[in-house]
Structure 1
């Protein structure tokens, strides 16, 4: 009997304030549509993090939740062992920040040591990044795929030499307004947008599953589902671009008046 693919959502109560558990749900559903058995596991602080998962997910949270999550994950050690065994780790926003070398919290910008799984450091930025974000992600096939999501973060992230940018920003702030968003280092990935992100970007969901399974997943056979997802994505992207254009036009008029 083939064992189900385990998808582990880590510390939903701490890192899940934007419905980021939906990332795990969409991974399980897209496996199910392909006839591949999966198990969606929710792990909370105080529970051991299983070491035999294929994909681990971290979501967004507030300052104190970040500190609690870092302390608990470091003490547990299960996530590190799973990554040593070849698991994939995908994180968004606060979950992305805590994977780095360090991040800051509070009004006094206290520096907190991160988990050291990504060569990035996060510090408070000059303005909070809030709003829709569009970024270009290069697929393994070399295609330019637009990622759509919602960013809401005060931290600005700088990448070190061991990490590569995950995507190139078209609209929004991303890492720190430098035209990049997220970071990737081996099988560990982080990026800022919520949404949840994977339901809004199904090709990225399939990519993560493919990395975890060490094989490329064929497109889903249901063409109607694929066409409807593509249409909805196209409509959302056009709305975001149009809204951004109107915002810039209004600002220009204000500067001229």
Structure 2
């Protein structure tokens, strides 16, 4: 693993920052530093050029107008596309997740996405609000997903991506699957923030971003207790 700083970029916090999604950046930085990995966190606003040489990019949730503006500016900027082409890791939540696809629905119309994942999003019959749990794709080697969702969209996956999880509680993409992943890109509807409730997912992103095959364990007693409480709360 390189001794250089791990560079984590939070994309457009002025447009895409709802339900505590900034916490994902804080959690990744804390878990990296807990292993002695030096970290640089960078917040890039929508009027700034997006650097294409970072290791890990985060995109949060947002409302329709900011989501549409973010898509327009990211497509025009091209920095995220270049970063993905060179192997950078991307973790996107809710509106940010929809942005990764070919199209999404906002302000009553369909808008072009970034076409980084083979998926498209439209509107569902009712808003999905509440606990979101699911069994994560076994190829990722992670425990069940735990989170909170609040979105009106429904996301339809193409053959070029895999669902992140199969839903056990909540709606996710469509009531059956939740999120999507391909290569070093992961999208999810899970807030919470997502990585506070899923530390193993945070560590997976760190392994991808650093190239480390193994990371020493951290004390996750408090998070394990929270996850158990939420699982009990949604149990039938």
TM-score norm. by structure 2 comes to 0.95
**Aligned position for 2:207:** 210
C-alpha distance in structure 2 between counterparts of 1:11 and 1:29, whole Å: 21
* Aligned equivalents of 2:145, 2:67: Cα separation in 1: 25
Give 1:5 deviation, angstroms.
0.3
2:188: which partner in 1?
A: 191
Query: What is the Cα deviation at residue 140 of structure 1?
Result: 4.6
Task: Write the distance in 2 (CA, Å) between the matches of 1:176 and 1:119.
Answer: 16
Q: Report Cα offsets for 1:14-52 as digits up to 9, x if no partner.
A: 111211011011000000000010011111011111111
Residue 239 (1) aligns with residue 236 (2): no
| Equivalent residue number for residue 104 of structure 2 | 103
User: Residues 141, 49 of structure 1: CA spacing in aligned structure 2 closer, same or farther, 3 A cutoff?
Assistant: closer
Q: How far apart, in 1, do the equivalents of 2:36 and 2:139 lie?
A: 24
Verify the 8 A CA contact 1:175 1:182 in the aligned structure 2. Answer: yes
Between the aligned partners of 2:216 and 2:230, the Cα distance in structure 1 is: 22
Q: Gaps (5+ residues) in structure 2?
A: none
Shift of 1:212: 1.3
Point out where structure 1 has 5 or more consecutive residues left out of the alignment.
246-257
Equivalent pair of 2:44/2:50 in contact (CA under 8 Å): yes
Match of 2:74 in 1: 73
Name the counterpart of 1:120: 119
Pick 1 or 2: higher relative contact order, CA cutoff 8 A, min separation 6.
2
> Are the aligned partners of 2:146 and 2:198 in contact in 1 as well (CA < 8 Å)?
yes
Q: Which residue of 2 aligns with 1:133?
A: 132
Q: State the Cα distance separating 1:231 from its structure 2 match.
A: 2.1
Deviations 1:61-98 (A, max 9, x none): 01111111011111111111111111001101000011
Deviation at 1:229, TM superposition (A): 2.3
Instruction: Give the number of equivalent residue pairs.
Output: 235
What is residue 174 of structure 1 aligned with on the other side?
Answer: 172
| 1:200 counterpart (191, 197, 201) | 197
Q: Secondary structure at the match of 2:222?
A: helix
Following superposition, the deviation at residue 139 of structure 1 comes to 5.0
SS at match of 2:180: strand
Deviation at 1:2, TM superposition (A): 2.8
Q: Which residue of 2 aligns with 1:161?
A: 159
Q: Name the TM-score, length of structure 1 as normaliser.
A: 0.87
Aligned residues of 2:196 and 2:223 also touching (Cα < 8 A): no
Corresponding residue for residue 252 of structure 1: none
Given that residues 207 and 216 in structure 1 are in contact (C-alpha distance below 8 angstroms), is that contact kept between their aligned partners in structure 2? no
Q: Is the 8 A contact 1:61 1:94 kept in 2?
A: yes
Structure 1 stretches (4+) deviating beyond 6 angstroms? Answer: none
Report the Cα distance in structure 2 between the residues aligned to 1:18 and 1:228, rounded to whole angstroms.
21
Task: Determine the C-alpha separation between the residues in 2 that align with 1:231 and 1:105.
Answer: 37
State which drifts further: 205-214 or 229-238. Answer: 229-238
